[in-house]
Amino acid sequence: LMQHFLSRLSLSVVLLLASWPSFSAHAAEALWAKYDGDHFIVFLKVPDDAFAKRAHDEAEAALSHILQNLSYTKPKKGWQKSGRAKIYLYESQAAFQTAGGSPSWAAGHANYETKSIASFVTSQSFFDTTLPHEVAHLVLFELTVNFWNVPRWMHEGFALSQEKKMGSRMDPAVKQAAREGKMVPLTMLTIVNPAEQTPGAANVYYAEAKAFVSFLLKKHGGHRFQTLIKKLSEGKEFEDSIERAYKGIYDDMDDLEEKFYAFLNAL
């Protein structure tokens, strides 16, 4: 969980950043309405067939899109039958908050251990933002194996970069920060704690994380990004992992940073 202090203005940016707390309260899932699909099972606290089907279909679309961005050419292994991800949808934000102990700004959670997502049906941003964001978390969690070795900003940057709309709404903030020389140096992203920053600086931090992941994916594709994640999850330092994954492309971190800033300018 992060940033209780963030103002309503910055709410849009941080709405989905909290993804680690575990929901333990889905225990009575037998009582929930269920919609079975290929890679997802949708559980609704209050039955609504149309909503459940749409949630399933959009989750499938988000998964394909994310896998495509990561250059997967085959269907994801282990996400069928007993390996399907579960999506728990509460009837209201209040019910969602009570079940997960979430702060008022949270719109969704992804839990790696239970391979599940929780949110609520009245959320305005569910289909465009929350759902692709949380599906992206599950995919990346799985890829990182021991996900605590991969910096948190990388997880959030990736999840934000896979949202349909919200992600690109963050770009102006990072462009402005780049113009004003307020960017966090890439090697500092892991060291800086956004919770200790002002709301404005925390927004720039996440916008930068998102923009950097988008830059890597758009410029160099999913294979190299997967290598980067693999190196990080093996416990290698950020600079070392970058060097191995983007071998022959960048002379050093300064060179990478320069090209990243040029990419931002062109957005």
> By CB under 5 A, what part of segment 140-199 binds Zn ion?
159
User: How far is the C-alpha of 85 from the C-alpha of 207, rounded, in Å?
Assistant: 28
Residue 72, Cβ density class (10 Å: 0-12 exposed, 13-18 middle, ≥19 buried): middle
Is residue 125 involved in binding Zn ion (CB under 5 A)? no
| Nearest approach, Cβ of residue 244 and Zn ion (Å) | 26
- Between 46 and 195, CB nearer to Zn ion: 195
| Nearest approach, Cβ of residue 18 and Zn ion (Å) | 7
User: How far is the C-alpha of 57 from the C-alpha of 152, rounded, in Å?
Assistant: 28
Helix (H, G, I), strand (E, B) or coil at 191: coil
- Across 18-103, the runs of DSSP E, i.e. the strands, are 33-36, 40-44, 85-90
Q: Strand 85-90 and strand 40-44: pairing?
A: parallel
Which residues 6+ apart lie within 8 Å of 81 measured at CB? Answer: none
Q: What's at 171, amino acid-wise? A: D
Number of residues forming the site for Zn ion (CB under 5 A):
4
Binding mask 4-23 for Zn ion (x = CB under 5 A): ------------xx-x----
Binding mask 84-113 for Zn ion (x = CB under 5 A): ------------------------------
Which residues 6+ apart lie within 8 Å of 88 measured at CB? Answer: 23, 26, 29, 32, 43, 45, 116, 117, 118, 119
| Nearest approach, Cβ of residue 16 and Zn ion (Å) | 5
- Between 19 and 233, CB nearer to Zn ion: 19
User: How far is the C-alpha of 7 from the C-alpha of 237, rounded, in Å?
Assistant: 34
- Between 19 and 123, CB nearer to Zn ion: 19
| Nearest approach, Cβ of residue 160 and Zn ion (Å) | 7
> By CB under 5 A, what part of segment 18-57 binds Zn ion?
19
- Between 232 and 256, CB nearer to Zn ion: 232
- Between 37 and 108, CB nearer to Zn ion: 108
What is the binding site for Zn ion (CB under 5 A)? 16-17, 19, 159
